[in-house]
Amino acid sequence: MTKLMLRALAGETLPTPPIWMMRQAGRYLPEYRATRAQAGDFLSLCYNPELAAEVTLQPIGRYGFDAAILFADILLVPQALGADLWFVTGEGPRLSTITTAEDMQRLRPADAIHERLDPIYQTVRILSRELPAETTLIGFAGAPWTVATYMIAGRGTKDQGPAHALKDTDRATFTALIERITEATILYLSRQIEAGAEVVKLFDSWAGSLKGRDFDDFALAPAKRIIAALKERHPGIPVIAFPREAGDRYVGFGAAVGADCVALDNSVSAEWAAQHVQVDGCVQGNMDPRHMVTGGPELVAEAQRITRALRGGPHVFNLGHGITPDADPDNVARMIEAVRSA
Greatest CA separation found in the chain?
57
The vertex-1 CA angle with 262 and 20, nearest 5°, equals 35
Percent helix, strand, coil in the chain, to 5, is 55, 15, 35
pLDDT at 214 > cutoff 80: yes
How do 239-243 and 282-287 pair as beta strands?
Answer: unpaired
pLDDT at 183 > cutoff 70: yes
Contact 153, 167 (CB under 8 A): no
pLDDT at 90 > cutoff 90: no
Mean predicted confidence (pLDDT) in 232-261: 98
Q: For the chain, give the mean pLDDT.
A: 97
pLDDT in tens, 134-162: 999 999 999 999 999 999 999 999 999 99
Q: How confident is the model at residue 103 (pLDDT cuts 50, 70, 90)?
A: very high
Distance CA(288)–CA(320), nearest Å, equals: 6
Mean predicted confidence (pLDDT) in 160-166: 98
pLDDT at 226 > cutoff 70: yes
Mean predicted confidence (pLDDT) in 175-200: 98
What secondary structure does DSSP assign to 265-318, as a single string?
Answer: -TTS-HHHHHHHTGGGSEEEEEE-TTHHHH-HHHHHHHHHHHHHHTTTS-EEEE
Q: How confident is the model at residue 88 (pLDDT cuts 50, 70, 90)?
A: confident
Distance CA(121)–CA(218), nearest Å, equals: 27
pLDDT at 204 > cutoff 80: yes
Catalytic residues, by residue number, are: 23, 27, 36, 73, 150
pLDDT at position 169:
97
Distance CA(208)–CA(288), nearest Å, equals: 17
Distance CA(97)–CA(112), nearest Å, equals: 19
Using a pLDDT cut of 70, give the percent of the chain over it: 100
Q: How confident is the model at residue 91 (pLDDT cuts 50, 70, 90)?
A: confident
Q: How confident is the model at residue 224 (pLDDT cuts 50, 70, 90)?
A: very high
pLDDT at 96 > cutoff 80: yes
Class of domain 4-340: alpha beta
pLDDT at position 1:
65
pLDDT in tens, 21-62: 999 999 999 999 999 999 999 999 999 999 999 999 999 999
